[in-house]
Amino acid sequence: MSISTNPEDDLEWRAEHSDDWRYAPDPRDSEGTNPDDALFALQSTGEAHTVAAVALEGITVRARMLIADQYAAIAMILRDAATCPDPWTGPDPTLDPLWRDPQDRSPAQVRAERRDVAERAAVLDLAVRLGLSETMIRRRAHDADTLRERCPRTWAAFSSGAVSEQNAGTAAQHAATLPDDAPESWAAFDEAVERAARTHSPARFRLRARIVRERVHPEHIDARHERARADRNVWLTGEPDGMATLSIQGTAVDLHRSYRTIDAQARDLRAQDGEQRTLAQLRADIATDLLLDGDDERARLQGSIPDAGAAGSPGSEDEATAGAAPCATCGHISLATTAAPAPTQRRRDRVSVAITVPVLTLLGHGDEPATLEGYGPIDSATARRLAGEASDWVRILTHPVTGTVLDVDRKTYRVPNALRRWLGVRDPVCISPGCTRLARDCDLDHRLDWQYGGTTADTNLAPLCHAHHVVKTKSRMTLYRDEVTGARWWVTPTHLTVPVDPAPF
């Protein structure tokens, strides 16, 4: 087979040869067979690599083209839902001459809400069908619309298989932040990044796209920076084995300075005799200490406040002797001085966190893992320690055999605290398909509306985040429950049946 030397000009040829690799047999599978000698010679000369590598390029081209088609189809479906909401929300009530809105809204306001709800319902339906998150569905639709309007050259390259999905998404993300009234900046950006999107790795292209975006943006960076500062944020992501990642989005200057401060302290500790932790572990320990204990811990780490009970601190055996006082958590060494200042009580902000502990684990006679609200299983030693600490932890003990049992049928609309807590244990997150918002941040929805005879009972209540509560209430998205087995399932406006996901933890 002949191989083209210019992969950018022969995408169709490579796509046609994407199956060639399947016809080169593996010698390990040849026992007891009489394979073609020429095919084995292909693998013994190194040519098999060339055949498979070219075929792999063709597979990649075809995959990119299909992904681009998916982006376009998702965008089309969401536009269609907003244009014609009826299949998602039912007939338009404003068309009835006798219609009056109970909330005194105008027909235009009601129609705008119908478009919004229809789009939300369409997003949820597609997320279930495609096995993607709702955020990803919206992002792909947004990226497709952005690239088509603002970066047609990059979109064409993506659709032909020449640009990876990662680079197409990066281009859309940066192009979307250019001013709506500056199409000349869109064209300049598209022209500057299109070739780089074809050839650069995702990491290198992100840097390239960001720099180009800064250059073509018509507004001065000072004004943009002031607006961007409003988006600073912190978020928490659960990781395996009882770990988590805390991410901070802030100004580049502040975060670079923060990292360098942490890094400098870590390197100082790493140089101490007997220190066994890696730099990465030291950075994590120091950052955690600073966040947990705030200014007092920062001062203590810098040596101005000694540990309680350490040498040189009041209350220790030697109240005026200089010595080394290691931090209990991160091991930072502070030098205590004579005439030490009054001790400062280490403090931590009190927050309420729920932990479910099997009673035998709590007593040390079992190994069933405890569950931390919003995360999942944690180790038994930590669970026992948290369950015995102060009242800022909500302790929920489960029976080792029967578990928690609650049979409540309330006659009032308001959900009692005990029932609310039980529902948070049974359904730790929003029960909408794919949603992971914690139950404590959700509305408690009456499956059968209170106004239609629904009771305030655990059989009729479940957590729904505000966005999905709106979709369930105002679209044709319907939640059903088997009164015998307790099984619950959704039926989408397109008649797709989706069981309620089991609790993730």
Per-residue model confidence as pLDDT tens digits over 83-100: 999 999 999 999 999 999
What is the phi-psi region of residue 166: left when phi exceeds 0, alpha when psi lies from -120 to 50, beta otherwise? alpha
CA 61 to mean position of chain CA atoms: 28
Q: Where are the domains of the chain?
A: 61-225, 239-336, 353-392, 409-499
Residue 64 has pLDDT above 60, yes or no: yes
Q: What percent of the chain has pLDDT over 90?
A: 44
- Check whether 104 has a pLDDT greater than 70: yes
Contacts of 193 (CB under 8 A, 6+ apart): 151, 154, 171, 174, 205, 208, 209, 212
What is the rounded distance in angstroms from the CA atom of residue 182 to the CA atom of residue 187? 9
CA distance 137 to 73: 11
Phi and psi at residue 224, to the nearest 5°: -65, -35
Mean pLDDT score, 129-137: 94
Query: Over the stretch 427-460, which tens digit does the pLDDT of each residue have?
Result: 888 999 988 888 888 999 989 887 777 877 778 8
Q: pLDDT class for 119, splitting at 50, 70, 90?
A: very high
**Rounded distance, CA 343 to CA 346, Å?**
9
Q: What is the mean pLDDT of the chain?
A: 77
How do residues 294-305 score in pLDDT, each as one tens digit? 655 444 544 444
**pLDDT attached to residue 320:** 33
- Average pLDDT, integer, range 236-240: 87
SS3 255: helix
- For the ranges 22-31, 287-296, 461-470, the lowest mean pLDDT is seen at 22-31
Average pLDDT over residues 54-82: 94
pLDDT, average across residues 253-260: 85
